[in-house]
Amino acid sequence: MLQKIKQLRKELHQNPELSEQEVETAARIRRFVEEHHNTQIIDQLGGTGLAVVYDFPNAGPTVMIRCELDALPIVEANSFDYKSNKDGVSHKCGHDGHMAIVAGLIFWIKEKKFQHGKIILLFQPAEELGTGAFRILKDPEFEKLRPDYIFALHNIPGNELNSIITVKNKFSATVQSIAIQLTGKESHSAQPEKGVNPALCMAELIQTFDALNLLDKTSDDFTIFVPIYSSMGKKSYGISAGFGEIHYTARTWNVEKMEALKVKIDAILLRVTKKYQLTFSTNWFDFFPTVVNDEFCNALIEETARRNKFKVIQNLYPYSFGEDFGWFSQKYKVAMFGLGAGIHVPALHHADYDFPEEIIETGMDMFKGLIESVLRKKRNNEAQRIED
């Protein structure tokens, strides 16, 4: 069984697809499930997503386990035999491993023969863009599933292999990106005074924006505002530039702080562009709301980890990366936990990163324990109610 799961992981790694393009990835998961177990599958959820549904005979809670389908636009630097066969696309966040863990649960579910409640294995598209979970939630087919609890994990390089990392309340940051267009006026480069060049404005904006950063993760006002991309003018050396563009990604601990940061950014743009006689436009995109962990779900995660004798690490503050699992936490009781991927391994989104298969069983054991805890607690509650 484990070898089949690991082989699936390698196949997924070798055949990555970008966000909103995960057609073959979803089909590969569907074929894997159908080959080993006959159960209900709902596909095309939120685009390319799919849900594997186990509906048991008697009433009970619905527990959902969620993972991600998409890869990243990164050229793989590894040379193993299952390296990506798609130029410029690779699984550098470990979603291939996350999918293998969740798909692997089908063997255990088949053996357990549960009698109460419902289990849903959700394979979600477009996590890297922040759009996948949002679209899933808007899908009428998903509305019918009505999960009571949703759990997810993310592998975390830099933490001890097979450790379980929990975070109280918030698991991850609110993240959003912005594109800023600056418009002046082109002129002959011999007569720059007859045009409006955005270079000095861009330089001042970059310096001024840098002062917005507060990197103390223990502070409620934690802020990261990082330049991602910039361009100006064209490679025509007789023309002084009349247009510039800069892109940033912003990170705060919650949506309210993000909105306050946006107000500051707008004020800076108004002041600095006026100084240099430029006009500007902005476009905010790729929004990842904070993942807010439900207290009960978080307690189940810690309880499950300790029961399995996994080392539990409690983070004092959230992760600064974005996770579109936050969309689910706005509507449902959810929790996400970290799964240690090893101390001396490449970081997420690095070209030489590869998901460590040693943690597949740990991820599966955690999800198994969470599923059993939810269904068992419900049965115990019902039995107590009848007895009372």
Same-domain check for residues 373 and 319: yes
Distance CA 323, CA 321 (A): 7
> Average pLDDT in the 176-193 region?
98
| CB neighbourhood size of 79 (10 A) | 7
Res 357: pLDDT: 97
pLDDT at 380 over 90: no
Q: For CA atoms 319, 322, 324, 326, give the dihedral sign.
A: positive
Distance CA 147, CA 119 (A): 9
234, 268, 286 - which closes a domain: 286
- In this predicted structure, which of 2-16, 89-103, 366-380 has the lowest mean pLDDT? 366-380
Same-domain check for residues 11 and 148: yes
Q: Which residues contact 12 (CB under 8 A, 6 or more apart)?
A: 25, 28, 91, 96, 99, 100
Same-domain check for residues 268 and 296: no
Same-domain check for residues 230 and 148: no
286, 320, 335 - which closes a domain: 286
pLDDT at 171 over 50: yes
Read off the CATH number of the domain in which 332 is found. 3.40.630.10
Res 378: pLDDT: 56
Same-domain check for residues 207 and 330: no
> What is the per-residue burial (b if ≥16 Cβ within 10 Å, else e) of 292-311?
bbbeebbebbbebbeeeebe
pLDDT at 383 over 60: no
Per DSSP, the three-state class of 286 is strand
Residue-wise pLDDT tens digits, 220-272: 999 999 999 999 999 999 999 999 999 999 999 999 999 999 999 999 999 99
Distance CA 314, CA 46 (A): 33
Same-domain check for residues 161 and 303: yes
Distances (CA, A) of 181 to 209, 243, 246, 251: 15, 7, 7, 21
Same-domain check for residues 23 and 160: yes
Residue-wise pLDDT tens digits, 299-344: 999 999 999 999 999 999 999 999 999 999 999 999 999 999 999 9
Task: Kindly report the pTM of this predicted structure.
Answer: 0.92
Same-domain check for residues 144 and 199: no
Residue 103 DSSP class: H
Same-domain check for residues 55 and 160: yes
Read off the CATH number of the domain in which 257 is found. 3.30.70.360
Res 113: pLDDT: 84
pLDDT > 90: what percent of the chain?
Answer: 96
271, 286, 301 - which closes a domain: 286
Please report which confidence band the pLDDT of residue 385 belongs to, taking 50, 70 and 90 as the band edges.
very low
Domain limits for position 102: 2-171+290-387
